Amino acid sequence: MILLEGKKVSEEILAELKLRREKIADKIKLAIILVGDNEASEIYIKNKVKKCHKLDIDVDVYRLSVETKEEEVIDLIEKLNKDKEVTGILLQSPVPDNIDIIKCFNCIDYRKDIDGFSCISVGNLYLGQEKLVSCTPKGIIRLLDYYNIDLEGKNVCLINRSNIVGKPLFHLLLQRGATVTVCHSKTKNLSEHTKNADIVISAVGKPNFITSDMVKDGVIVIDVGISRVDGHVVGDVDFSNVSLKASYITPVPGGVGPMTVAMIMENILIAKEANK
């Protein structure tokens, strides 16, 4: 079994991005918008800010109160769209229920849409044009590429249909010639799909959701899920047993998570290079 070491791979990518950044003389600035208090969001933002500073990217974090109205978020996005000093904009999810996050994502200028969630970015992906692509799906593909795992003709069972993981990842996999089965909470007999898969990608958020009886020998397993159990971060996969059958598997932590952050950094540079 080979561990798909996202942490190690992401460090190599970040080192390459540092060199790429040094070739850009201009200032680069990321604007992050956080609405309401969310402990997990604060941790993610802290991590992104740290990585940005390592690449000499300035960051402005806009912390808006939980009472903020949707129009106020949109006004801020429009102000940042117009600001020539701002290279990229991230709206941190989740947002409070009174805010339509899809509407807000669609207000972000597609040239500054680092998360790739606006309808123009999603449309580009649908058409096979990979510009600013959603970072977790992109990070998963980059990790598979690093280990020379060819997707062409592979049966992939993807368990997730969300806008941020499953749907964009489906398009990236399809574009690379994989045969993709997208499963979700309404899927019947999930095990039949996972057992038939050369690659299982699970993004459910339930510990021990994927057990060894659900996968075939030699399977490649990508664990996207994040849950906290007794203060520890765990994925969806019963790692100790599934890893005995797998040919490749991601650890949690240290698998998909660091790849996501590296892809955010890459997207900021792509945005800057495209819009100089």
Would you tell me which residues interact with ligand NAP (CB under 6 A)? 136, 159-162, 164-166, 183-187, 190, 203-205, 224-226, 256-257, 260
Ranked by CB distance to ligand NAP, the top (closest) residue is 205
Residue 20, CB-side half-sphere exposure with 13 Å CA sphere: 16
Query: Which residue of the set 51, 92, 109, 112 is catalytic?
Result: 92
Q: Which is nearer to ligand NAP, 76 or 237 (CB)?
A: 237
Nearest approach, Cβ of residue 235 and ligand NAP (Å): 8
Distance from C-alpha of 196 to C-alpha of 188, rounded to nearest angstrom: 14
Q: Which is nearer to ligand NAP, 61 or 190 (CB)?
A: 190
Query: Which residue of the set 29, 48, 112, 272 is catalytic?
Result: 48
Nearest approach, Cβ of residue 44 and ligand NAP (Å): 9
CA dihedral 38, 43, 47, 52 (to 10 degrees): 30
Distance from C-alpha of 154 to C-alpha of 156, rounded to nearest angstrom: 6
Instruction: Quote the DSSP letter at residue 98.
Output: T
DSSP readout, 129-151? --SS--HHHHHHHHHHHHTT---
Q: Is 69 a catalytic residue?
A: no
Nearest approach, Cβ of residue 168 and ligand NAP (Å): 10
Q: Is 138 a catalytic residue?
A: no
Q: Which is nearer to ligand NAP, 88 or 255 (CB)?
A: 255
DSSP readout, 248-265? EE--SSSSHHHHHHHHHH
Nearest approach, Cβ of residue 101 and ligand NAP (Å): 11
Q: Is 83 a catalytic residue?
A: no
Query: Which residue of the set 115, 198, 223, 236 is catalytic?
Result: 115
Q: Which is nearer to ligand NAP, 88 or 257 (CB)?
A: 257
Put residue 128 in one of left, alpha, beta given phi > 0 → left and psi -120 to 50 → alpha: left
Give the residue numbers marked as catalytic. Answer: 48, 92, 115
